[in-house]
Amino acid sequence: MGLVRSRHVRSGNRHTGWRSYRWDVGARLMSMRSNLSPEPVIFDYDSMCNLVRGDYSMYESVFRTPDKVGNLYREDGCKGREYDRGGRLLWDGEYYYRYDCEGNLVHKSRRDVSVSENGHTEKKGWLGMLFSADGADKNDNSRETDPFAGWQPGDTCYEWQANGMLAGVRTPDGRTVTFGYDALGRRISKRTGDTVHRFGWDGNVVLHEWDTDEARRPRLVTDETGREEYDGTEKPEGLVTWVYDGTSFTPVAKVTDGERYTIVHDYLGTPTQAYDSKGELVWEMLLDVYGKVAECHGDRTLVPFRYQGQYEDEETGLYYNRFRYYSPDMGMYISSDPIGLAGNNPTLYGFVPDVNTWMDLLGLNNIITGAGRTHVTYQGIKHGLPYTGYASAPSHLGLTPDQIIAYRYNGNFDDFGGVPPQHVYAGEGIKGKQTARGLEQRLYEADLKAAGGDKTKVANKQNPVGVNNPNREKYLASADEYLKVKGCY
């Protein structure tokens, strides 16, 4: 199974859309052409296969240059932004950003909000996070009663629930948007003024949306026996139903009262076009390297889904990503990863290294669990010595094991004398990772035994799965189970 080279859309007898892709080694998308623009979009990568730039015309280049720890810059040479430890963006050349003690963004302003109104400067770094929740005076309790107390016209302020979910936003024009969630952390309401936009879910995907008036919303009442029930039924307005094909987090169709739309995706599952029931093209969109809308023809809100798992809120400019909110302007999440360093992202706020091939469906990086990825164990001769390694790639890319190994080394096998390592195992998902990592350790042990225990005679510098690895027993058990069936190394 290879990578998509082109996609053509026809409605009736008309050719209504097309996209073509040019790929390089390691599944790097080098360029994309489409009916939206006469010029191709050109992409560039660094030596670590991070997507660093998108050229959308002869005069428009969008940089996402990473520094050594993955913080992104909109200028070449890592200039124009200031970051704190942990990947918190403090200043981007236009706005200043302030965070609470949990690492959640609480204030965005053109003013330097690191200086509170009492003249105190917010402490930066982890000490600042521990001892100053938002840079306010310790004797000032205004934020306890009004989370938007520091707001001024043009600012954006954010309120957070104790469990790390975004509770509300005060927008630059003074509107307040509040959010509600169910017990599973799924967003079930978005309120602006007297209008409540409600969401109904099927697992991790939005199935229904509708509006209701807050004043007429049913209330939960308790009778004299202590029994609780609602005092009426909700009357939905503007009901929308999303239809899925079971393989994607983005819908393939939209059903409203009186109209049906077909939604076309690209190879990554990102919506690109929508057609009405008459087959007319009514919506088309192109995203840039940050996921920000670069071009849109038609009503932008007709299809609010962006990258898989993301739902755009036009009121705030944020993308709801199940457990977190992503800012396409900042190019990062506005809260730290709830699974911390287990998300395998040292910045804690980062999205993905390459939006052309990677996805983060839940706002939680799945590298650590292995879900949705193909895992490979391989062996080769590195610097003249036996070597065992492990590599993985998103399953949706459809890469072969050999292609995943090439992706791992960016197609350069000089360390192996120009001879690519050979895969000895390939598996899918969480179980596949457990087996692949366990085999990596077992095969290393076999090489070490053959070398008489002399670690200088194997290329691996250390145990692939050391004794301090919390998943060691799980990995080895899965590998031993596999080897028991296979019968040998």
Predicted confidence at residue 403, as pLDDT, reads: 84
pLDDT at 126 over 50: no
Summarize the confidence of residues 463-469 as an average pLDDT. Answer: 89
Q: For the ranges 225-239, 268-282, 293-307, 395-409, which has the lowest average pLDDT?
A: 395-409
**Of all residues in the chain, what percent carry a pLDDT higher than 70?**
90
Longest dimension (CA), the chain: 82
Predicted confidence at residue 434, as pLDDT, reads: 94
More confident residue, 129 or 331: 331
Contact 37, 31 (CB under 8 A): no
Q: For the ranges 24-28, 72-76, 94-98, 439-443, which has the lowest average pLDDT?
A: 24-28
Predicted confidence at residue 285, as pLDDT, reads: 96
Say if 141 falls within a structural domain.
Answer: no
Contact 317, 327 (CB under 8 A): yes
Are residues 421 and 383 located together in one domain of the fold?
Answer: yes
Q: How much is the mean pLDDT over the chain?
A: 88
pLDDT per residue as tens digits for the range 96-122: 999 999 999 999 999 998 765 444 445
Say if 361 falls within a structural domain.
Answer: yes
Predicted confidence at residue 79, as pLDDT, reads: 92
pLDDT per residue as tens digits for the range 8-36: 999 988 999 999 999 998 788 999 999 98
pLDDT per residue as tens digits for the range 177-191: 999 999 888 999 999
- φ/ψ of 126, rounded to 5, equals -65, -30
Q: In whole angstroms, what is the distance from residue 486 CA to residue 405 CA? A: 23
Are residues 302 and 410 located together in one domain of the fold?
Answer: no
Are residues 390 and 342 located together in one domain of the fold?
Answer: no
Say if 432 falls within a structural domain.
Answer: yes
pLDDT at 123 over 80: no
Q: In whole angstroms, what is the distance from residue 246 CA to residue 51 CA? A: 29
Summarize the confidence of residues 300-308 as an average pLDDT. Answer: 96
Are residues 202 and 161 located together in one domain of the fold?
Answer: yes
Are residues 353 and 388 located together in one domain of the fold?
Answer: no
Q: In whole angstroms, what is the distance from residue 376 CA to residue 402 CA? A: 9
Are residues 86 and 208 located together in one domain of the fold?
Answer: yes
* Count of structural domains, the chain: 2
pLDDT at 432 over 90: yes
Residue matched to tokens 């995706």? 265
pLDDT per residue as tens digits for the range 361-389: 776 666 667 777 899 999 999 999 999 99
Are residues 208 and 267 located together in one domain of the fold?
Answer: yes
Which of 367, 391, 407 lies at the terminal end of a domain, its last residue? 367
Are residues 257 and 382 located together in one domain of the fold?
Answer: no
Cα 154 to its chain centre, rounded Å, is 28
Predicted confidence at residue 451, as pLDDT, reads: 94
Least Cα distance to 118 among 144, 88, 90, 142 occurs for: 142
Predicted confidence at residue 145, as pLDDT, reads: 66
Predicted confidence at residue 411, as pLDDT, reads: 74
Say if 225 falls within a structural domain.
Answer: no
Say if 379 falls within a structural domain.
Answer: yes
Least Cα distance to 123 among 135, 141, 106, 111 occurs for: 135
Predicted confidence at residue 399, as pLDDT, reads: 81
More confident residue, 261 or 13: 261
Are residues 333 and 423 located together in one domain of the fold?
Answer: no
Are residues 338 and 468 located together in one domain of the fold?
Answer: no
More confident residue, 251 or 236: 251
What Rg, from alpha-carbon coordinates, does the chain have? 25
pLDDT tier, 260 (very low <50, low <70, confident <90, very high otherwise): very high
Which of 367, 396, 417 lies at the terminal end of a domain, its last residue? 367
More confident residue, 150 or 411: 150
Say if 227 falls within a structural domain.
Answer: no
Count of C-beta atoms within a 10 Å radius of residue 327: 22
Say if 89 falls within a structural domain.
Answer: yes
More confident residue, 243 or 115: 243
Say if 143 falls within a structural domain.
Answer: no
Are residues 83 and 188 located together in one domain of the fold?
Answer: yes
pLDDT per residue as tens digits for the range 321-365: 998 999 999 999 999 988 776 665 668 899 888 899 888 877 666
Predicted confidence at residue 131, as pLDDT, reads: 39
Which of 341, 367, 393 lies at the terminal end of a domain, its last residue? 367
Residue 424: domain span: 373-486
Are residues 320 and 336 located together in one domain of the fold?
Answer: yes
Residues 6+ apart with CB under 8 A from 207: 200, 201, 241, 242
More confident residue, 124 or 253: 253
